[in-house]
Chains A and B, each alone.
Chain A
């Protein structure tokens, strides 16, 4: 079974630009979660989608948005990039229950200059 894939793996943008990151979950998984990882703040939850609906949202500004498609693939968008948005963005897929393991992708390393 293929794992969680994220594209692109690396991205360099400048302040003010916007960016879209993509995540393809494990086949059969309907839940996709997004996390931001930085050295200072650690791993922080952004949002979670299940069957194309956002079920849960973390404490991030509205510049961070996401969506999920009918095939469970998910995209995350960050508009008006700031230097502080530089981070590793991880997505995780699962069957959708609290007991179900979340499988993480390798992440997208975003650098904002």
Chain B
């Protein structure tokens, strides 16, 4: 079984300041890692994902996340946030192999990012 912990439920940050949203996971098998974003009254949108290769992955809107296997972490960062980044962010994992528990995303509880003008 997998579990995901997002250490901060709410993160307020001033516009143009940097931000880090923390995510740690636990799993007995290898996993793929994802960050999703949810805007009010909407579904989830994939922000970025780590499947293999370079441990640093980037999104088109300036976010990046680094997979750290030894610390079982996948923290999300942005060097300068905008008002439009205000949303809830979810970290998620899915097992790599095909077997029990596969094909299902296990989510963290989410982090609400509030960007203050």
Contact = CB atoms under 8 A, between A and B. Distances in A.
A44 B36 CA distance: 14
A2 to B, nearest CB: 14
Main secondary structure of the interface of A (DSSP, over half): strand
B51 A45 contact: no
Interface residues of A, number: 25
A80 to B, nearest CB: 25
Nearest to B51: A99
Q: Which of B44, B97, B102, B107 has the largest count of A CB atoms less than 10 A from its CB?
A: B44
A56 B32 CA distance: 18
A98 B43 contact: no
Given A42-B109, A45-B106, A101-B49, A56 B101 contact: yes
B43 A105 contact: yes
B58 to A, nearest CB: 16
Nearest to B97: A98
B87 interface: no
Given A4-B43, A42-B110, A43-B90, A102 B105 contact: yes
Give the top 10 A-B pairs by smallest Cβ distance, nearest first. Answer: A104-B43, A43-B107, A104-B44, A45-B104, A42-B109, A106-B43, A48-B103, A56-B103, A105-B43, A98-B94
